[in-house]
Amino acid sequence: MKNPSESTALELTSPVLQVKVKRLPHAVGLPLPSYATAGAAGIDLHAAEAATLPPQGRTLIPTGLCIALPPRYEMQIRPRSGLALKHGLILPNAPGTIDEDYRGELKIIVMNLGQEVFHIDRGMRIAQAVIAPVSRITWLECTDLEITDRGNSGFGSTGT
């Protein structure tokens, strides 16, 4: 059972970010993206249209939503683990990035790596979105970099 004082303390220390969302006509009647549990990092995104994916097939699924992220934030689009494990549904460009200045419809590239045809129903939760801060950088060109124990060893050099 949840302790009310713990959730109050968490809410006081965790700012809530407001994101404007515009619902397109083909999303009318669908729920807005939401967190499935109090501790979820990802917001579930729903399909605004049905689709059928054959094995090895891929398609672009509209959500019927457009958003306006605050400056210096991105939306990362990630697969839902249950769909990946049980049906082989993946997002081939995961994580996908929605930039702060994009105002078009959120659409999800979905691919079926499973052995069976997979049917996506309108309203089905097909992906999740995580909102993350974006850091800006400037390049500082140099002739040498600091030496580390790892050096230029990569691609499995630290073991499996």
CATH code where residue 52 lies: 2.70.40.10
- What is the domain range of residue 21? 17-133
Mean pLDDT by 10 residues, the chain (160 residues): 51 76 98 94 97 97 98 97 96 96 98 97 98 96 92 78
Q: Quote the CA–CA distance of 79 and 156 in Å, as a whole number.
A: 25
User: How many domains is the chain partitioned into structurally?
Assistant: 1
Whole-number pLDDT of residue 5: 47
pLDDT at 150: 84
- Residue 102 inside a domain? The answer is yes
Report if residue 156 sits inside a domain.
Answer: no
Domain for residue 104, yes or no?
Answer: yes
The answer to whether residue 145 sits within a structural domain is: no
Residue with tokens 């839902």: 80
From CA 129, how far away is CA 133, in angstroms rounded? 13
* Within-domain flag for 84: yes
The secondary structure element, H or E, covering residue 147 is none
What is the spatial distance between Cα 121 and Cα 43, in angstroms, rounded to a whole number?
18
Collapsed DSSP state (helix, strand, coil) of residue 57:
coil
Phi, psi of 25 (to 5 degrees): -55, -35
The reply to whether 21 falls in a domain is yes
pLDDT score at 14: 62
Q: Is the pTM of this model over 0.85?
A: no
Instruction: Evaluate whether residue 125 is within a structural domain.
Output: yes
With respect to residue 118, please indicate whether it lies within any of the assigned structural domains: yes
| Res 27: pLDDT | 98
